[in-house]
Amino acid sequence: NAGVTQTPKFQVLKTGQSMTLQCAQDMNHEYMSWYRQDPGMGLRLIHYSVGAGITDQGEVPNGYNVSRSTTEDFPLRLLSAAPSQTSVYFCASSHARDAGELFFGEGSRLTVL
């Protein structure tokens, strides 16, 4: 059981470049979300989805785009990377009925130069 899989694990971008962080889960979870983790800031919610075709903004959505075309996948897109987006990104999923019992991926460390 793979759980939540994130790729890539590490990425270095130049300011203005675009990229997509991939997230896939094999647990048939309705709910998926993206968080960023910065030193001294804890985890902050970027975007979330309660099911295929449904997405919504979290606490810090600016500069990020998401879509949910399937139950399994929830990619996070950076359209024009900025140094302020240097962070560790975590994807998480859960059953809708147990929304707090999130299963997290291993994280993607992104550096924007």
Partner 1 sequence: GESVGLHLPTLSVQEGDNSIINCAYSNSASDYFIWYKQESGKGPQFIIDIRSNMDKRQGQRVTVLLNKTVKHLSLQIAATQPGDSAVYFCAETLPNSGGSNYKLTFGKGTLLTVNP
For the chain, what is the total number of helices (H) and then of strands (E)?
A: 0, 11
CB of 48 to partner 1, least distance (A): 5
Nearer to partner 1, 10 or 14 (CB): 10
CB of 90 to partner 1, least distance (A): 5
CB of 75 to partner 1, least distance (A): 17
CB of 98 to partner 1, least distance (A): 9
- Whole-angstrom distance, CA of residue 105 vs CA of residue 92: 6
Q: Whose CA is closest to 17, among 107, 79, 84?
A: 79
Nearer to partner 1, 12 or 79 (CB): 12
Nearer to partner 1, 48 or 64 (CB): 48
Cα angle 4-92-79, degrees, rounded to a multiple of 5? 100
Chain residues in the site for partner 1 (CB under 8 A): 4, 31, 33, 35, 40-45, 48, 50, 56, 58-59, 90, 92, 99-107
Question: Do the beta carbons of residue 36 and residue 101 sit within 8 Å?
Answer: no
- Any residues with CB less than 8 A from the CB of 39 and at least 6 apart, and which? none
